[in-house]
């Protein structure tokens, strides 16, 4: 899958300290193949690769990130841009009702979406009306009625006198009905075919002309891949589309279609449907879709937060102290911990790491209070004590425990763990920087 390929590209990058132009070229080649295999439109791929490469070569070196993280960051940002940047909400009409028309192929998920939209709008204090303008299939009206019932929303359907059999008349009638009964949003469900054809386009265009929608949404099954681009183009030319809704994102969608449609049409993806239940629905968030496509958990968020909060200078100073024996004290430990905490709750930070799913249980068991306790203990120490734990005799430990509101055994545990950890870090540092081995005491 695209996710797997990209993951392995980034994994290769992560082990590098510096990136050369050749590294970037090789990476971009992999990304290009990965995107093409995922059915992303060729034009979109070319544009994307060029943009990322240009930026990667010019990348300003950020202190907080290593070069491979920077490439990941650029790839992500360009992906978000291609997916439309920011979520685009519905534009409500100044004078109600706001008319939303749904168009797309049969089975795309229009009727289901109509119910989801209605349910969501209702929860936002709107009074939506569903309109059954799909009179193609015998049970289409009934399907919408069931959906409307589940959403708790009224359905306007053809009855004798409403214009039986003519979806255009039904659609037209629904607007007058909404105005009379003060519905403030009208959602028009239309018929689809299995493929694009002239009759379907004509009907959709006629319904559109009858109701002059504020939003015409093209609904597309995210699993249909490259075809989606051509279908979307046909609907945009034949009917005119304001936004796109991707459905069935809960399936094994490759993401390629999503990428291509937004860019090729130049229209925003507005909603994402991800299940059969009416609640399986959300605004489309390009940033979330990008991390889904990149398949990197929320590692991107982590990179961003690291960049924002991590003070590279301070970390370097701490690392240098660590190299010189015994200089790394509890004060340094405390500031490192505090920097990490600025990024969010520890369980959340760890949860964002790729592969964290496997360790969910352990991560959930991390006790924030334990970390609070550690902080409290260190706060109760004098600067001298923080610098040199060796001076912590029994009476000092008792005083610290009282100050921090913990048991002496808690203080002992922290000190022992710190000494252990420092030993381990020192031996790691010694191994990683062979040159240090020659220094006295290393
Ligand atoms: P329409 O022909 O465009 O009106 O499509 P429908 O709304 O009737 O949906 C076709 C089928 O897809 C139905 O079985 C729906 O339950 C299913 N469906 C719609 N949206 C989703 C979705 O987001 N996820 C999944 N898994 N199924 C969906
Ligand atoms: Mg339908």
Tally of CA atoms within 13 A in the half-sphere of 192 that contains its CB = 21
Model pLDDT for residues 250-261, shown as the tens digit of each residue: 876 666 776 788
**Partners of 273 in beta bridges:** 281
**Partners of 103 in beta bridges:** 218
The segment with the largest mean pLDDT, out of 52-61, 148-157, 410-419, is 148-157
Q: Is residue 370 classed exposed, middle or buried when 0-12, 13-18 and 19+ CB atoms within 10 A define those classes?
A: exposed
Question: Residue 254: which of 36, 28, 104 has the closest Cα?
Answer: 36
Cα–Cα distance, 381 to 389 (Å, whole number) = 10
Residue 163: the pLDDT is 45
Query: Which of 141, 276, 278, 284 for mutating ligand 1's site (highest number of atoms within 8 Å of CB)?
Result: 276
One DSSP character per residue, 316-363 reads HHHHHHHHSTT---HHHHHHHHHHHHHTS-HHHHHHTSTTGGGGHHHH
Residue 441: the pLDDT is 29
Distance 94 CA to ligand 2 centre (A): 29
Distance 167 CA to ligand 2 centre (A): 13
What's the whole-model pTM score?
Answer: 0.68
Confidence of residue 431 (pLDDT cuts 50, 70, 90): very low
Helical H runs in 106-197? 110-123, 140-151, 167-181
Confidence of residue 72 (pLDDT cuts 50, 70, 90): confident
The 8-class DSSP code of residue 222 comes to G
Closest residue CA from atom 19 of ligand 1: 109
Q: Which ligand is nearest to the CA of 219?
A: 1
Residue 197: the pLDDT is 87
320, pLDDT greater than 70:
no
ipTM of predicted complex? 0.99
Of the listed ranges 31-35, 65-69, 227-231, 297-301, the one predicted with least confidence: 297-301
Model pLDDT for residues 381-403, shown as the tens digit of each residue: 998 898 889 999 999 999 999 99
∠ CA 247-250-252, rounded to 5° = 100
Pocket around ligand 1 at a 6 A CB cut-off: 104, 106-112, 192, 247-248, 250-251, 273-276, 280
Model pLDDT for residues 167-198, shown as the tens digit of each residue: 999 999 999 999 999 999 999 999 988 888 89
Of the listed ranges 83-87, 203-207, 378-382, the one predicted with least confidence: 83-87
Q: What residues are neighbours of ligand 2 (ion), with CB under 5 Å?
A: 110-111
Q: Is the distance from CB of 313 to CB of 304 less than 8 angstroms?
A: no
Sketch out the chain's domains with CATH numbers.
Answer: 2-86 (1.20.120.140), 98-284 (3.40.50.300), 310-438 (1.10.260.30)
């Amino acid at each position: 899958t695209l996710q797997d390929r990209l993951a392995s590209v980034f994994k290769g990058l992560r082990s590098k300290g510096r990136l050369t132009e050749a590294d970037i070229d090789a990476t971009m080649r992999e990304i290009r193949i990965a995107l093409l295999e995922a059915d992303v439109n060729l034009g979109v791929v070319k544009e994307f690769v060029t943009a990322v490469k240009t930026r990667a070569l010019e990348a300003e070196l950020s202190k907080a990130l290593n070069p491979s993280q920077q490439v990941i960051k650029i790839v992500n940002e360009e992906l978000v841009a291609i997916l439309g940047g920011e979520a685009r909400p519905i534009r409500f009409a100044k004078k109600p009702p706001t008319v939303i028309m749904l168009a797309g192929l049969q089975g795309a998920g229009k009727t289901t979406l109509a119910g989801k939209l209605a349910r969501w709008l209702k929860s936002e204090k709107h009074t939506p009306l569903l309109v059954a303008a799909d009179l193609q299939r015998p049970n289409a009206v009934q399907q919408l009625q069931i959906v409307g019932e589940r959403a708790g929303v009224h359905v306007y359907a053809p009855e004798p006198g409403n214009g039986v059999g003519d979806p255009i008349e039904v659609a037209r009638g629904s607007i007058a009905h909404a105005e009379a009964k003060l519905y403030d949003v009208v959602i028009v469900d239309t018929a689809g075919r299995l493929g694009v054809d002239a009759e379907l386009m004509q009907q959709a265009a006629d319904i559109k002309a009858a109701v002059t929608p504020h939003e015409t949404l093209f609904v597309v099954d995210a699993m249909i891949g490259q075809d989606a681009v051509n279908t979307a183009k046909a609907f945009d030319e034949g009917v005119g589309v304001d936004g796109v809704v991707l459905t069935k994102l809960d399936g094994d969608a490759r993401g390629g279609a999503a990428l291509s449609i937004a860019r090729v049409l130049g229209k925003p993806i507005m909603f994402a449907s991800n299940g059969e239940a009416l609640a399986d629905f959300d605004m489309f968030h390009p940033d979330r879709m990008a991390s889904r496509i990149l398949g990197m958990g929320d590692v991107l968020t982590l990179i961003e937060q690291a960049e924002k909060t991590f003070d590279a200078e301070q970390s370097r100073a701490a690392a240098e102290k660590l190299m010189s024996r015994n200089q790394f004290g509890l004060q340094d430990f405390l500031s490192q911990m505090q920097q990490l905490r600025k990024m969010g709750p520890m369980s959340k930070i760890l949860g964002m790491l790729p592969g964290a799913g496997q360790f969910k249980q352990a991560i959930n068991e991390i006790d924030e209070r334990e970390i609070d306790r550690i902080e409290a203990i260190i706060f109760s120490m004098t600067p001298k004590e923080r610098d040199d734990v060796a001076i912590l005799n029994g009476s000092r430990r008792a005083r610290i425990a009282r100050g921090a509101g913990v048991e002496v055994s808690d203080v002992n545990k922290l000190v022992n763990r710190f000494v252990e950890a420092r030993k381990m870090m020192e031996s790691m540092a010694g191994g990683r920087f062979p040159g240090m081995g020659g220094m006295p005491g290393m």
